[in-house]
Amino acid sequence: MASTETVLIGLTAILVLGIGIQWLAWRIRLPSILLLLLAGLLAGPVTGRLNPDALFGDLLLPIVSISVGLILFEGGLSLRIRELREVGSTVVGLISIGVMVTWLLASTGAWLLLDFSPGEAVLLGAILVVTGPTVIGPLLRQIRPVGRVGPVAKWEGIVIDPVGAVLAVLVFRAIETTQAVGFYGAVGEAAVHLAGTVAVGVLAAVVAGGLVLVCLRRHWIPDFLESSVLLMVVVATFTASNLVEHESGLLAVTLLGIVLANQKWVSIEHLVEFKENLRVLLISSLFIVLAARIPQTAAAELNWQAFVFVGLLIFVVRPVAVALATIRSGLGWKERVFLSWMAPRGIVAASVASVFSLQLHEPNESLVTMTFLVILVTVLVYGLGAPLLARRLGLAVANPQGLVIAGAHSLARSIAKTLGELDFAVLLVDLNRSNIHAARLEGLKTCYGSILSERVVDEMDLGGMGRFLAMTPNNEVNSLATRWFATVFDRASIYQLALPRPQGARAETAPRHLPGRLLFDASATYGALQSRLAWGAVITKTRLTEKFDYEAFQELHGQQALPLFVVRENGTLAICTAEDQLVPKSGETVISIVDAEPT
């Protein structure tokens, strides 16, 4: 039994390493999973400084199990059924046909190439059907692919986790009972277990979800306890479901997340922040702990067959699975090629492999070693190769012209409508339902939610988007949002409205403390622009010619005209800023706000 000081140092090291690596990965813009795994390997098998088995003892398995359940609950909260309507058939194909093909080919490869028994090979294949939404999400934000391929990859990554986890549970259950009841008996028990898992999981999710909704709707829970109560319900649902039907808790908590995310009786936006912060903590800690458990002899097991197996997964298994699963999906060949190059494994694969490795009658450390090797190589290969491939296929634009605007108020809607008439993509993001409703009535593309929510960023379709404009009425939100989106877009593509200045104060063109570039003009605050619209000002677009140049435009509208954007002759969109006063030329189009239409 480890001493109190040893446990304290170990827990502190896990938290410091995990969160510190997340921060470092954000700073240098690398997938955090790579650095977390490397840190865990250095702390565990390389230096021997961290021994999770000695640190946690018998608590390790329950901690990992509950953590996986919470991560899958977070995945369920990220799933919106309405968004699956556009890509649902493709996603269904990938999580049914794609899963079965991946399972079959990966199991065959593991049996032929690795020193695995047939049962262990089938279990490894089941574990590796999952992908990594925590890796895919940041990759898609970086690539910003156009068309349907982005939503397909995102939703496949979310939905396939519980499907793969349940499949792995069934396979594990069959392996454990084969010796006692024979093959056919094990298959029968697996079928019964599947039915029981689905029944118990659905019932537990419905009961727990109904309880949470009733309590929230009747205000039986104070605001400061809502997040804590939700955490309690998730853990209780996971444990209770597992007690009734072994390993049904994973399905139960995933369905619970889906139920809460798609109901319309109460708002849970303020609760989503809880799961975002918890996810970062769990993923950071779990990767450190699980990587540190890899035995020091693992490197000796990584022969050439192991790397051939990983290559088989990347270059054969995934392309074949996508090809067969998307035959009638309507996707073009370029989109199918891109999906074939988007299957990094993540925390769920690592966690499930570690749990089953601990539960096997004869623990197989090679199962964990191979899973972590697959995670490392796939994250590295897909993380470096997917952006290049997307641009080569024409699914990502080197200089995307679309705009993400924080705010769907009348000013933002007028700008979005005008830019849309010139074929520029605009996405309006707002937490105000009235603004979103008005924008949708005008046919504008919207996303409901807080611009500061990671869930909202994950759900956005950023295809073709290249700039971010913070235009909410709240200046603090604008500043925070620009800092957050600086990790999504380049800093040169981040803009925000000017702050109101005290009476008589000198206008600043670029306050140093503001992370975003000042939109339009130093005096163009939210209040000033909205006041002009309220007094009859309009957003206009004017194409300049040799006869009607920019000087003539200024003479017509006078000083009251405020240029907002300029559409260049090559079709690119330039944004006017306080520090960069654009001078449009003939053949270009000026989008400006003027107090009245000229007569």
- The pLDDT value given to residue 203: 93
The predicted structure's pLDDT at residue 315:
94
Residues 442/465, Cβ–Cβ less than 8 Å: no
d(CA 514, CA 393): 37
pLDDT tier at 211, thresholds 50, 70, 90:
very high
Indicate whether 222 and 331 sit together in one domain.
yes
The token pair at 145 is 């692919």
Residues 231 and 319 in one domain: yes
Helical H segments across 333-459, by residue range: 333-340, 347-359, 365-392, 410-421, 433-441, 454-459
Are residues 20 and 145 both part of a single domain? yes
Residues 239 and 304 reside in one and the same domain: yes
Average pLDDT over residues 169-175: 76
Compute the C-alpha angle 117/365/284, nearest 5°.
130
Asked whether residue 53 is domain-assigned, the answer is: yes
- For residues 365 and 448, state if they share a domain: no
Q: Which residues contact 125 (CB under 8 A, 6 or more apart)?
A: 102, 103, 104, 105, 106, 107, 108, 109, 110
Most confident option among 25-39, 40-54, 137-151, 307-321: 307-321
Across the chain, what does the average pLDDT equal? Answer: 81
The residue ranking higher by pLDDT, 298 or 171, is: 171
* pLDDT for 95 beyond 80: yes
Q: Is 379 within the bounds of a domain?
A: yes
Once rounded to an integer, what is the mean pLDDT over residues 53-65? 82
> pLDDT, tens digit, for every residue of 34-47?
788 888 888 888 88
Is the pLDDT at 510 greater than 80? The verdict is no
Predicted local confidence at residue 309, as pLDDT: 93
Q: Which one, of 544, 571, 568, 569, lies nearest residue 556 by Cα?
A: 544
298, 369 contact by CB (below 8 A): yes
Token pair for 300:
């000796």
Question: 66-70, 206-210, 353-357, 510-514: lowest mean pLDDT where?
Answer: 510-514
Q: Residue 379 in contact with residue 132, Cβ under 8 Å? A: yes
To which residue do tokens 């798609």 refer? 262
CA 126 vs. chain centroid, Å, equals 23
- Give the whole-number percent of the chain exceeding pLDDT 90: 10
In terms of domains, do 359 and 455 share one? no
The answer to whether residue 65 sits within a structural domain is yes
What pLDDT does residue 228 have?
84
Mean pLDDT of 366-371: 83
Q: Of the candidates 369, 392, 415, which is a domain's last residue?
A: 392
- Which CATH number belongs to the domain containing residue 421 in this structure? 3.40.50.720
Residue 372 pLDDT grade (very low, low, confident, very high; cuts 50, 70, 90): confident
Q: What is the pTM of this model?
A: 0.72
Per-residue buried b or exposed e for 27-64, using 16+ beta carbons within 10 Å of the residue's own CB: eeeebbbbbbbebbbebbbeeeebbbeebbeeebeeeb
Q: Considering the domain boundaries, does residue 284 fall inside one?
A: yes
Look at residue 391 and tell me whether its pLDDT is greater than 70. Answer: yes
Residues 438 and 342 in one domain: no
Say if residue 332 is in the same domain as residue 430: no
382 pLDDT more than 50? yes
599 within a domain of the structure (yes/no): no
Cα–Cα dist 9/5, whole Å: 6
Q: Does the structure show a pLDDT above 80 at 317?
A: yes
Based on the number of CB atoms within 10 Å of its own CB, is 213 exposed (0-12), middle (13-18) or buried (19 or more)?
middle
At 324 the pLDDT is: 93
Give yes or no for residue 106 having a pLDDT over 90. Answer: yes
The answer to whether residues 473 and 453 belong to one domain is yes
Q: Do 340 and 323 contact (CB within 8 A), yes or no?
A: yes
Please write the tens of the pLDDT for every residue from 227-262: 888 889 999 999 999 888 877 888 888 889 888 888
Q: Within this chain, do residues 552 and 431 fall inside the same structural domain, yes or no?
A: yes
Rounded distance between C-alpha atoms, residue 259 and residue 237, angstroms: 13
Bridge partners (DSSP) listed for residue 403: 426, 467
**Which residue would you say has higher pLDDT here, 313 or 191?**
313
Pick from 392, 425, 447: which residue ends a domain? Answer: 392
Reduced to 3 DSSP states, what percent helix, strand and coil does the chain have, rounded to the nearest 5? Answer: 65, 10, 25
Q: How far apart are CA 466 and CA 143, in angstroms?
A: 10
Residues 521-533: what's their mean pLDDT? 83
Is the same domain home to 170 and 199? yes
Residue 28: CA count within 13 A, CB half-sphere:
10
Identify whether residues 362 and 431 lie together within a single domain: no
Domain assignment present for residue 517? The answer is: yes
Domain count, the chain: 2
Of 345, 361, 392, which marks where a domain is finished? 392
Q: Considering the domain boundaries, does residue 451 fall inside one?
A: yes
Type of residue found at 87? V
Q: How many whole angstroms separate alpha carbon 428 and alpha carbon 405?
A: 5
* 397 within some domain: no
Mention every residue, 6+ apart, whose C-beta is less than 8 A from residue 263.
209, 213
| Full residue range of the structural domain in which residue 420 is found | 402-594
CATH of the domain at 198: 1.20.1530.20
DSSP string over 15-47 = HHHHHHHHHHHHHHT--HHHHHHHHHHIIIIIT
CA 47 centroid distance within chain: 33
